[in-house]
Amino acid sequence: MSDKYAVIGNPIGHTKSPLIHGQFAQSTAQDLVYTAIEGPLDGFAAAVDAFRAAGGLGMNITTPFKLDAFRYATDLTERARRAGAVNAMKFEGERAYADNFDGVGLVRDIVHNMGCPLQGQRVLVLGAGGAVRGALLPFMEQHPARLVLANRTLEKARALAATIAGPITACSYAELAGQQFDMVVNATSASLRAELPPVPASVFSQAHLAYELAYGKGLTPFLRLAQNAGVAQLADGVGMLAEQAAEAFAWWRGVRPETRAVIEKLTIPLL
């Protein structure tokens, strides 16, 4: 019988994880089946318990359950603990081991796939939600010159910035006026609603990369603003999605799949 893995979220109909992990399994000759589970908003633990009882060995966790998974886990990696959020678990007996590969996947996509080193760069991150929590530590490990965290709720951004050592500061969107950056990363949910975060176009005046964590949305308002400001490289979150999935797959199965074919298959032209 094939080993069982799954992704849990709500809603879950849009997920590409079964396709990604299915291709990973095929390319690495791993005998597994990977499904999608729409967990009840108030029933995360029960849904995971049922999956484990049916023989499930591991799960990816997506919105809105990353904090629920953090509380559910019995064993957290240092990365997950510091992020305060979990996007992957594996089950061994009574133990639920948990990690967070979001930031690792994002950094790998930017640095290795796109050829954009973070070292010495001025980086602006928009948003202070779960995805940002997982990304900050891997970002800072790349030694940017400075990292600015902008959010509608300034106190939330300040509290998050205070958890990470290094040249990281928080500000409101209004305070971005007159500031320039080399890279701008949109980790807000605005693009999911086809909206633009309240970021001034001037932040792109010296930028060479605009990265949208949302994927499959084409040229979002954020990316269009960056394009109109002259940013040369535009990207959505397909590469991050594939890279974090590969990290989880390697954690579960002991072999890291190549990601290029998956990224090419999922990439939608930014038109």
Q: Could you tell me which residues are annotated as the binding site? A: 15-17, 62, 78, 87, 102, 127-131, 151-156, 213, 215, 237, 244
Q: Is 194 left (phi over 0), alpha (psi -120 to 50) or beta?
A: left
Distance in angstroms (rounded) separating the CA atoms of residues 124 and 151:
11
265 is catalytic: no
Q: Pairing mode, if any, of strands 56-61 and 88-92?
A: antiparallel
> Residues 69-74: contacts with CB within 8 Å, 24+ apart?
69/44, 69/98, 70/98, 72/44, 72/45, 72/48, 72/96, 72/98, 73/97, 73/98
Annotated binding-site residues for NADP(+) read 78, 127-131, 151-156, 213, 237
Question: Which amino acid, 179?
Answer: Q
Q: Are 9 and 63 in contact (CB under 8 A)?
A: yes
H helix intervals, the chain: 17-28, 44-53, 66-72, 78-83, 102-108, 130-140, 154-161, 221-228, 238-253, 260-266
Question: Which amino acid, 206?
Answer: Q
Annotated binding-site residues for shikimate read 15-17, 62, 87, 102, 215, 244
Name the residue among 252, 264, 262 with its Cα closest to residue 18. 262
Dig out the tokens for 224 from the structure: 């269009």
Q: Which of 66, 90, 217, 265 is catalytic?
A: 66
Catalytic residue ranges? 66
